[in-house]
Amino acid sequence: MKKLALVVGHTRARPGAFAVAPIGQSENTWNTDLATTMKAIADTDADAGHPGAVSVSIFTRDDGGVVGAYRRARQWGADAALELHFNAAMPAATGTETLYLTPASQGFAAVIQAATVAALGLRDRGIKTPHAASGGRGAANLSQMGARPSILTEPFFGSNPGDCAAAHTRKRRLAAAQIRAAGHYLNALYDGDPDDVATLPVALNGRGAPARWTIHPPDAPRRVRAFGARKP
Ligand SMILES: [Zn+2]
């Protein structure tokens, strides 16, 4: 089974941004709970033999900071890493974004972004590099996994009451959407036809919702449409 490292953003001592009501929690507190829910969903999917299931382990930055968390994730054998945050800015700022740095992480970012937008229904701010998003913050976090996908999710703005209401109400939906999108993507990335990986971002429908979750039987030939309009 593929292994996904969940890295909880910030630390107990320096817990990051604080979300307004109805959340009323720091990034570290809210995302510690979110990670626990994501792991529980992943474990249930694995027990049920779900073909897209992943093994999940949670890593914190409390011991050794960013470098320590990712070192332990690599030692565990993580195939990919997803670091959990939420955004903060002026009250009017709204929406979902996903950060990536390396080319190998871009497809994973696109899949998680689409799943997150579908789960929360907030504005799609797209996938971004740390430089494009915030002058480079997060680049060190996203440089720790070598050739393996490593992304950072900012599902909503903790500074926006409407975003917080959506994230509070749909927290479990968010957890399930991200963990299942990650599982589907990682299983396709490492086991499947390379065309399947290339097709995943365009297999999402116009509102960003996954068009399908079913795994194609290996003996079912199918036509794939590459990025752009090129015919196979
Ligand atoms: Zn943060």
Q: Is 146 inside any structural domain?
A: yes
What's residue 189's pLDDT? Answer: 86
User: 46 CA to middle of ligand 1, Å?
Assistant: 29
Per-residue pLDDT of the chain (232 residues; tens, 9 = 90+): 999 999 999 999 999 999 999 999 999 999 999 999 999 999 999 999 998 899 999 999 999 999 999 999 999 999 999 999 999 999 999 999 999 999 999 999 999 999 999 999 999 999 999 998 888 889 999 999 999 999 999 999 999 999 999 999 999 999 999 999 999 999 998 775 555 554 444 444 434 434 333 333 333 333 333 333 333 3
Q: Is 225 inside any structural domain?
A: no
SS3 per residue for 43-71: HHHHHCCCCCCCEEEEECCCCCHHHHHHH
Q: Is 195 inside any structural domain?
A: yes
Using a 10 angstrom Cβ sphere, with 0-12 exposed, 13-18 middle and 19 or more buried, the burial of residue 110 is buried
User: 105 CA to middle of ligand 1, Å?
Assistant: 19
Q: Between helices 171-191 and 106-120, what is the axis angle to 10°?
A: 150
User: 10 CA to middle of ligand 1, Å?
Assistant: 6
User: 198 CA to middle of ligand 1, Å?
Assistant: 29
Q: Is 228 inside any structural domain?
A: no
Query: Looking at the 3D structure of the chain, how many domains does it have?
Result: 1
* Contact indicator for 34, 174 with CB cutoff of 8 Å: yes
The rounded distance, in Å, linking the Cα atoms of 182 and 179 is 5
Decide if the complex's ipTM is over 0.90: yes
38: part of which helix (H) or strand (E)?
A: helix 27-47
The rounded distance, in Å, linking the Cα atoms of 84 and 9 is 5
Q: Is 75 inside any structural domain?
A: yes
- Which of 146, 190, 141, 173 minimizes the C-alpha distance to 3? 190
Q: Which domain holds residue 39?
A: 3-203
User: 62 CA to middle of ligand 1, Å?
Assistant: 14
Residue 169, CA distances (Å) to 40, 201, 212 in order:
18, 26, 24
User: 232 CA to middle of ligand 1, Å?
Assistant: 41
CATH number (domain holding residue 95)? 3.40.630.40
Q: What are 8's two structure tokens?
A: 């909880």
Q: Is 230 inside any structural domain?
A: no
Q: Is 171 inside any structural domain?
A: yes
Q: Is 227 inside any structural domain?
A: no
